[in-house]
Amino acid sequence: MFYIHKTACISPQQTYPDAEINVLTGSADNKLRATEPSYEGIPAGTLRRMSKSVKLGVGAALPLLRDAAAPDGILIGTGNGGMEDSVRFLKQIIEYKEEALAPGTFVQSTPNSIASQIALLSNNKGYNITHVHRGLAFENAAIDVGMLLAEHPLKSFLLGGVDEISSYNFNLEYLEGWYKKEALSNKDLYESDTPGSIAGEGAVLFLVNNKKADALAELKAVATLHSRDENVVRRRLQDFIGSHLPAGEKPDLFLTGENGDSRLLKFYTSCETLLEERVAIARFKHMSGEYPTAQAFAVWLACHLTRGYSLPFHMLKKSSVTREFKNILIYNTHQGVQHSFTLVSKVAQPTFILPGT
C-alpha cells in the first residue's frame, strides 16, 4: 500500500519524543492516560483553547512536518474526537438557554477539529478528511491513503489515529460493561478472566508515501470486517495471509489487541491456531489501553520492531527462535464486532558495492 517514513506517538508509555518501550508505565483508576509533552510549536493562546484530543493530534503531527516537504493531505481516524468539548457545548446550550454560547467550545467539539487544526498551524491547504468509524476509524483512514497513493503515486500524506479518554464516554462504556468493574493494574491485565478492559488514549501520526528509499517500514495491507463469529474472523485472517504474503512465507510476529476482556479472548485464541509454531505472539493493549484507534499504536510498535528494536518481555505471549521480524501481522477487535488485520513489513534497503571492493 505505502511506505512509512516518519512517525510520532504520544501515548501512556514513554514514546515521545524518544521511545523506551521496555519500561512499562502503570495505570491508575483503570485508565492509561497519555503522557503529554510541552507542545512546543503551538502558540500558548491557541493551546489554551484546544481540547485534549486536538492537543494530542497536533502535538504528534508538528514534529513530522518540520524539515519535510508539506504533505499533500491530512487524514485522521478517530472514534470519538473531542467528546469532552461536545458535552461541554451541549451543557452550555441548556445553561445559557441558547444565548451567549462560546463558539470556541463548539469548534473544538467536532471530530474533524484535529485534522483542521493541524492544517491551520502548518498552512496546509491539501486534502483534509477525518474518518469516524468507531473501532475501524484508523484502518479506514489508512485504506483511504492507499487509494490516494494508487491514484497519485508521487504525493505524500499525513496519516494518524487519535482518541482521548472523556468522562462522558468512559462512563457510558463503563455502564455498558466495556471497562473493568474491579480495580486492576495494566501489569495484571492478561491474568484477568472477567469482562471489560482498561481505558486508554493517545495520538499516533505517520508521514507516508510510495518511496521505498529510507523508509522505516512498509504497510503492505489492511483489511476490515464486521462479525460476531470467531470462525468467520479466523477464515478471513487465513485469506488475508494467503493474499498478502508470498507462497510459503509466514508472519514472524503476531501482534494482537488482546485486552483482558474474557468475552473477546475467543477471537484471539481462534486466530492463533492458524499460526505455525515458529511464529511469536505478542500483545500491546497493556501499554496503550483500550480505545477505538489503538491499532495505530500497534502499527507504531511494528515500525520499531522491524527496525531492530528488541521485543519487550512484558509484551510476549509466546516466544520463538526468530529474533528478526520481517513481517508483523496485527489483529485487533473492537468490542467483538469490528475486526481488522494489518500487515507491516521490514523494508530491505539496497546495498551499494563500491568498485574494487
End-to-end CA separation in angstroms for the chain? 36
Nearest to 292 by CA among 195, 190, 165, 182: 165
**pLDDT score at 19:** 92
Q: What is the pLDDT of residue 104?
A: 65
pLDDT tens digits for range 296-319: 999 999 999 999 889 999 999 998
Please say whether the beta carbons of 295 and 332 come within 8 A.
Answer: yes
Place of cell 511494528: 302
Using CA atoms, how far residue 261 sits from 35, 134, 186, 252, 297, in Å, is 25, 18, 12, 26, 19
Residue range(s) occupied by CATH 3.40.47.10 in the chain? 2-209, 221-345
Q: Using the predicted structure, report yes or no on whether residue 354 has a pLDDT greater than 70.
A: no
Which pLDDT score, from 0 to 100, does residue 40 have? 87
Residue 91 pLDDT more than 90?
no
pLDDT tens-digit map of 250-293 = 899 999 999 999 999 999 999 999 998 889 999 999 999 999 99
The confidence band for 357, taking pLDDT boundaries of 50, 70 and 90, is very low
Quick one: 236 exposed, middle or buried, by C-beta within 10 A (0-12, 13-18, 19+)? Answer: middle
* Contact present, 219 and 1 (Cβ < 8 Å): yes
Record: fold of 2-209: Peroxisomal Thiolase; Chain A, domain 1 (3.40.47)
67 versus 56: the higher-pLDDT residue is: 56
pLDDT of residue 276: 85
pLDDT value, residue 169: 85
Positive or negative, the CA dihedral 302, 307, 309, 313 is positive
Q: Which of 170-179, 296-305, 320-329 has the lowest mean pLDDT?
A: 320-329
Task: Give the residue-averaged pLDDT of 143-148.
Answer: 98
* pLDDT > 90? residue 322: no
Whole-angstrom distance, CA of residue 171 vs CA of residue 176: 9
Cα angle, residue 223 at apex, residues 9 and 289 outer, rounded to 5°: 35
Fold of 221-345: Peroxisomal Thiolase; Chain A, domain 1 (3.40.47)
As a whole number of angstroms, the distance between CA 338 and CA 133 comes to 10
What is the reported pLDDT for 107?
62
Residue 72 has pLDDT above 70, yes or no: yes
Q: Is the pLDDT of residue 227 over 50?
A: yes
Q: What is the mean pLDDT of the chain?
A: 91
